[in-house]
Structure 1
Amino acid sequence: MRVVIIEDEKPNITRLKKMLTDVDPDIEVIAVLDTITESVAWFAAHPHPDVVLMDIRISDGLSFDIFPKVKFACPVIFVTAYDEYAVRAFKVNSLDYLLKPVERDDLQQALNKVKAVKQPPDTEELMKHLLDLLSKKEATYRTRFMIPFRDEYRTIPVTDIDFIYYSIAGTHLVLKDRTQLPISLTLEELEEQLDPQVFFRVNRQHIIHADSIDKIQTYSTSKLRVVLKRDLEREVLISREKVPLFKQWLDR
């Protein structure tokens, strides 16, 4: 079975590849794509695989935006951290899905289902219906975190967060008073839980609050640099793929 993975988180890619090999050593991952632009270009230039494993949020937007540009000749399995409402929509539309963190048995069942499918679903029509369902749901986002701190717990209102960063030491919330607190959630999980009107994931290491921005500088012909009000020395770069989304986020 030939598989294409559309995902931009390296730990997720590594885990998914290993799990695919465990499920079936004959599975071949023929491409790993991490942007909408790259995915559209790849499918235009290559024969389609037997199945696509597709994350919903990737570096330059929602992977739903691939569907108007690519008519898939193969089944698509969504690998998603989306909430239960979206999962119900996938079920209604007969698209398969895997909730993160992906479990081996769930992956095995999804691949077995792919093998049994004789003809891929009409993804364009399914996506229209799915997006319609998602647009009718009123989103709810986190308002606070309860975090272990020394010998006690602290309740941190989301309004106190200046930005969030990931490093080899893990994920940390940085508050407006410059306090740094470790948190067990990944940036991907936090991106799903925080209000996108005020928080934006600028790159693979940072999620920033709109009010944390001091200035925005041109870094190169295609990138931007964000200067943070309370951490002027921190290097926060926005890639070419993310620049249009970032500008759209700020220009509201």
Structure 2
Amino acid sequence: MGGSTRFTFKVGQQLKLISIEEIESFYAANKGTYCYGKSGENYLIDYTLDQLEKQLDPELFFRINRGYIVQHRGIKSIAIHSNSRLRIIFNHNPASDAIVSRERVQAFKSWLA
């Protein structure tokens, strides 16, 4: 198994450690990169999605589009979306924009298998 096993986040004046198992997804929004944890909390992190993609274990995480990296364990279900795309429904994250891009659908299905 490769990749980082935990991340450190600054929360106010404190640092918080979160293990990879607690992370459902990473996403880009408002010119920042965030981590969404199973506890329902979002954390601003100091990495871009491109940097994270190189650090994370590809067996656990998959980049579904330009703005999202998802963890296998964080996926509750997958819905058919328009134009041959798929929409991810997470266990905890209420995101509605976690859409697997058309170009990545086949690779995503292989990753799930």
> Normalising to structure 1: TM-score of the pair?
0.43
SS in structure 2 opposite 1:185? coil
Task: Give the distance between the partners of 1:177 and 1:191, measured in 2 at CA.
Answer: 22
Task: Give the distance between the partners of 1:224 and 1:233, measured in 2 at CA.
Answer: 14
Map of 1:161 onto structure 2: 23
Q: How many matched pairs?
A: 113
Shift of 1:231: 2.5
Map of 1:184 onto structure 2: 46
| Structure 2 unaligned spans of 5+ | none
What pairs with 1:104-143 in structure 2 (closer than 5 Å)?
140-143=2-5
Specify the code of the residue in structure 2 equivalent to 1:183.
Answer: I
The yes-or-no answer on 1:231 pairing with 2:93 is yes
Shift of 1:214: 1.4
Larger Rg: 1
Query: What is the root-mean-square deviation of aligned Cα atoms in Å?
Result: 1.4
SS in structure 2 opposite 1:192? helix
The yes-or-no answer on 1:147 pairing with 2:4 is no
Shift of 1:234: 2.1
Larger RCO: 1 or 2 (CA < 8 Å, sep 6+): 2
Larger relative strand fraction? 2
| Structure 1 unaligned spans of 5+ | 1-138
Shift of 1:220: 2.2
* Contact 2:24 2:93 (8 Å CA) reproduced: no
Aligned-pair identity (%) = 34
Task: Give the distance between the partners of 1:232 and 1:213, measured in 2 at CA.
Answer: 11
Specify the code of the residue in structure 2 equivalent to 1:189.
Answer: Q
Specify the code of the residue in structure 2 equivalent to 1:234.
Answer: S
> Normalising to structure 2: TM-score of the pair?
0.92
Task: Give the distance between the partners of 1:225 and 1:176, measured in 2 at CA.
Answer: 19
Map of 1:210 onto structure 2: 72
Specify the code of the residue in structure 1 equivalent to 2:81.
Answer: Y
* Contact 1:228 1:234 (8 Å CA) reproduced: no
